[in-house]
Structure 1
Amino acid sequence: MAGREAREPMPGRYPVTFGEVDLLQDLDRSSGWVISKDGVPQSYVDLDDPAYLDFEYVRLMAHVIDLLDEGPLDVVHVGGCACTLPRYVAATRPGSRQIVAEPDAGLVQLVRDHLRLKSVPRLKVRILDGRTATAGLEDDFADLLVLDAFSGATMPIELATSEYMRDVARVLRPAGTVLINVADGKGLAFTRRVLATVRDAFPQVVLLAEPGVLRGRRFGNLIVAASRVPLPVSGLARRAAGGLTQARCVDGEDVVRFIAGARPLNDGDAVLIPVPPPAVFG
């Protein structure tokens, strides 16, 4: 492979458009690399094995993807970083067409230079924020939209509102699925409002998380999967419970009870975005 793409990864701290990131090599897997920002791990990729997923929440998202109808998918990823899931989809569902929306041009160039981004087939990266990128897509464009966008350790509120979810619903095909990574802590008040928001646009909603996170006992990631058509709940429950870190699957009336009357989020709402305590990332 010629040009800048041929460069071997070099660990270190690198300037990007929105600050600096650290590129770190996994001491246990020589082909594994982590991008971290302000001490918060943002993305992990194994350059030799794109099907290897190190972060538990990413494995939960992959369970959902694996249980969708067989064959290639048209996928939109809002939030890119090292493009872990685009690599996974390209490896497990050959022929898939994928678009990544990532606003940090410097970060995208770093991933191109060091982490073989151009080797991912049929992947396009657009240097755009999530709302702008989604607004520019046609109706019924995608089978799957993955929302995994963070500023540091917090989810941008503009990607969690009813107005945005309606646009996501427009872009997805009638049987399409949206996958959302939410980070939350004690009480899970933010997650409840996100679920209420998603449920207004998609009647079928499933929540996946480790038991300690689901009970609000510690800060962590929760995965929301939603669609207009029934989701593969039994398969998801089995896979979540059988993972390296066992997780629970909440669906149906249990989702309604979990929401507990929380109000959907709307543009302009004053919302306290959950921030992890310093001890979470050491």
Structure 2
Amino acid sequence: MTGLSSSPAAEQGPSRPGLGPRAAAVLVFGASAAVLVVEIVALRLLAPYLGLTLETSTMVIGIALTAIALGSWLGGRIADQVDPLRLLGPALGISGVVVALTPAVLRSTAEWAPALLILVAALTVLVPGALLSAVTPLVTKVCLTSLADTGTVVGRLSGIGTVGSIVGTVLTGFVLLSRLPVSGILMGLGALLVIASVPVSRRMRGRNGAPAALALALAAGGLAASVAPGGCDVETRYHCAQVVADPARDGGHTLVLDGVRHSYVDVDDPTHLEFTYVKAVASVADAAYPGNQPLTAHHLGGGGLTVPRYLAATRPGTRSVVSEIDGGVVRIDRERFGLAPGTGVDVRTEDGRLGLKRLGTGSLDLVVGDAFGGVSVPWHLTTVEALTEVRRVLAADGLYVANLIDHGDMSFAKAELATVGEVFEHVALLGEPTDVGLARSEEPVGGNVVVVASDRTVDLRAIQRALDARRTGWTIATGDALTSWTGGAPVLIDDHAPVDQLLQPHASPGRR
């Protein structure tokens, strides 16, 4: 019988260097953690180009699992044919170089060859993921010197690898992404992997390629930091954020999150509204509550706080509470857009739906929905249950106004209108005539539409006059026309809300 032996004398030949249990544990733990760090950070790196959608997350997770399976299988097969100690160093070093290169490669591909982005993204996750996943079977082969210990060794290393994956996940999600830019995380991880390959490579027979690999990794880091396009002004917990100055307006700035224009803010004139959908929201508030009396409002999603600033400027005494989940965006509001205490705008770093639960019943005049993850409304804010919470916090004559983005046949917008209609007595939709079903001879353009809902009758003529005064080109669909346009669209509930699938994934998002 060849291979493993139960005889202690046959456990290890004199020419083969050993690998102590601590070193084995560190290698398996670190490699497993690194795979999860790469997977999670890849989602953030791709969000500006593919959107932060369920499909993007599913794709990255699927590729990472494929890499783990492929690396484990190939690593085990190769370990039976080649001395594993000759492979561990190169596996760590090469994966480190690829990881360090990933920001530069992905951002350059997105800029200059977007058609290849998915393929390149798959390779940047698959290659290091497979190499790092091969570490566990390679180390296992080195540590297995007796059949009597097979279960103990395999079980111990499998458990250590799982713990490493957990630590990599928690560390990335709760610590790294909130404190370091995406490029910095990958460059640092790549350098650590290459450095770790140095002592392992010394066990190779007379060879050590680690210094050259380390130099390449450091060069890759410099390239990612200084050459690659698509850099962020700020890496927040959820977004790659940029603030772009408007050359045509001194105080004008656009807040860009993951490549999507989320807000336009004029720090000198909060009554200046740039995006058409914001003009529509302001038109609804102005028409539904004439006289500039102060309001109590809650905003689901903050961004640049354009609407809360407008209400504070045009309706002195208005109190706006904002639920903005991203503390980094709130910091931008304070540091770049001049948000200060005493302005009537109270921003809370919290999830919008959880924020609603803290509000008193019938306490609000207005709820504004403008929360987005990527280009879609977070699904848990679109359902009957969520809208029931909105209705609960509104006064009897209160108003719900929500911004939506959709394209193509507007499947998501139709489903959301059907859902809103399940909760509120009166519903209307504002948008381009082609997008709200009032110009059937033309294909929908897609983009932003605004939902208006209430249990009281709203003066739609006054809203239309306000829209026309701002030259939006938008119109209002309601009644039978809106019912016909919505058709048999599904009602979204917590148990089934396929928002990402209803949205058209290939459309180009925008704020108009």
TM-score under structure 2 normalisation?
0.51
Name the stretch that deviates more: 208-217 or 246-255: 208-217
Q: 1:120 to 1:60 in 2, by over 3 A?
A: farther
Whether contact under 8 Å (1:154, 1:273) holds in the other structure is no
Q: Which structure has greater strand proportion?
A: 1
Name the stretch that deviates more: 227-236 or 258-267: 258-267
Whether contact under 8 Å (1:153, 1:276) holds in the other structure is no
Q: 1:278 to 1:254 in 2, by over 3 A?
A: closer
- 2:284 corresponds in structure 1 to 64
Among 217, 240, 252, the residue aligned to 2:467: 240
Partner Cα separation in structure 2 for residue 237 and residue 68 of structure 1: 11
Residue by residue over 1:106-152, the C-alpha shift from the partner in whole angstroms, topping out at 9 and shown as x without a partner, is: 11012111111116612111111111000111101100000000012
Higher RCO, Cα 8 Å, sep 6+: 1
Whether contact under 8 Å (1:17, 1:107) holds in the other structure is no
Partner Cα separation in structure 1 for residue 426 and residue 436 of structure 2: 19
Partner Cα separation in structure 2 for residue 119 and residue 178 of structure 1: 26
Partner Cα separation in structure 2 for residue 179 and residue 270 of structure 1: 20
- 1:255 corresponds in structure 2 to 482
Among 447, 452, 457, the residue aligned to 1:220: 447
Are 1:23 and 2:252 counterparts? Answer: no
Q: 1:13 to 1:186 in 2, by over 3 A?
A: same
Partner Cα separation in structure 2 for residue 77 and residue 19 of structure 1: 19
Whether contact under 8 Å (1:208, 1:248) holds in the other structure is yes
Whether contact under 8 Å (1:202, 1:227) holds in the other structure is yes
Among 366, 377, 381, the residue aligned to 1:144: 366
- 1:3 corresponds in structure 2 to none
Among 34, 44, 47, the residue aligned to 2:264: 44
Residues 1-282 of structure 1: matches in 2 within 5 Å?
A: 13-69=233-289, 70=291, 71-118=293-340, 121-215=343-437, 217-271=444-498, 272-275=501-504, 277=506, 279-280=508-509
Partner Cα separation in structure 1 for residue 474 and residue 342 of structure 2: 30
Partner Cα separation in structure 1 for residue 234 and residue 296 of structure 2: 32
Deviation at residue 189 of structure 1 after TM alignment: 1.3
Deviation at residue 275 of structure 1 after TM alignment: 4.6
Partner Cα separation in structure 1 for residue 446 and residue 508 of structure 2: 10
Whether contact under 8 Å (1:182, 1:222) holds in the other structure is yes
The amino acid that maps onto 1:152 is G
Whether contact under 8 Å (1:184, 1:191) holds in the other structure is yes
Partner Cα separation in structure 1 for residue 505 and residue 467 of structure 2: 24
The amino acid that maps onto 1:66 is D
Partner Cα separation in structure 2 for residue 120 and residue 256 of structure 1: 44
Q: Which structure has greater helix proportion?
A: 2
Secondary structure of the residue that 1:214 maps to in structure 2?
Answer: coil
Secondary structure of the residue that 1:90 maps to in structure 2?
Answer: helix
Which structure 1 residue ranges, 5 or more long, are not aligned? 1-11
Whether contact under 8 Å (1:13, 1:23) holds in the other structure is yes
Whether contact under 8 Å (1:154, 1:275) holds in the other structure is no
Partner Cα separation in structure 2 for residue 110 and residue 39 of structure 1: 16
Whether contact under 8 Å (2:429, 2:452) holds in the other structure is yes
- 2:142 corresponds in structure 1 to none
Partner Cα separation in structure 1 for residue 251 and residue 239 of structure 2: 25
Residue by residue over 1:90-114, the C-alpha shift from the partner in whole angstroms, topping out at 9 and shown as x without a partner, is: 0111101110000001110121111
Whether contact under 8 Å (1:205, 1:224) holds in the other structure is yes
Deviation at residue 238 of structure 1 after TM alignment: 2.6
Q: 1:206 to 1:23 in 2, by over 3 A?
A: same
* 4+ residue segments displaced more than 3 Å: 275-281
Residue by residue over 1:16-55, the C-alpha shift from the partner in whole angstroms, topping out at 9 and shown as x without a partner, is: 1213211110010010011102221011110111010000
Number of residue pairs matched by the alignment: 271
Secondary structure of the residue that 2:262 maps to in structure 1?
Answer: strand
The amino acid that maps onto 1:229 is R
TM-score under structure 1 normalisation?
0.91
What is the aligned-residue RMSD (CA, Å)?
1.8
Whether contact under 8 Å (2:287, 2:466) holds in the other structure is no
Q: 1:120 to 1:25 in 2, by over 3 A?
A: farther
Secondary structure of the residue that 2:307 maps to in structure 1?
Answer: helix
Partner Cα separation in structure 1 for residue 445 and residue 369 of structure 2: 22
Name the stretch that deviates more: 260-269 or 122-131: 260-269
Whether contact under 8 Å (2:383, 2:497) holds in the other structure is no
Partner Cα separation in structure 2 for residue 98 and residue 205 of structure 1: 23
Secondary structure of the residue that 1:166 maps to in structure 2?
Answer: helix
Partner Cα separation in structure 1 for residue 342 and residue 308 of structure 2: 8
Whether contact under 8 Å (1:90, 1:120) holds in the other structure is no
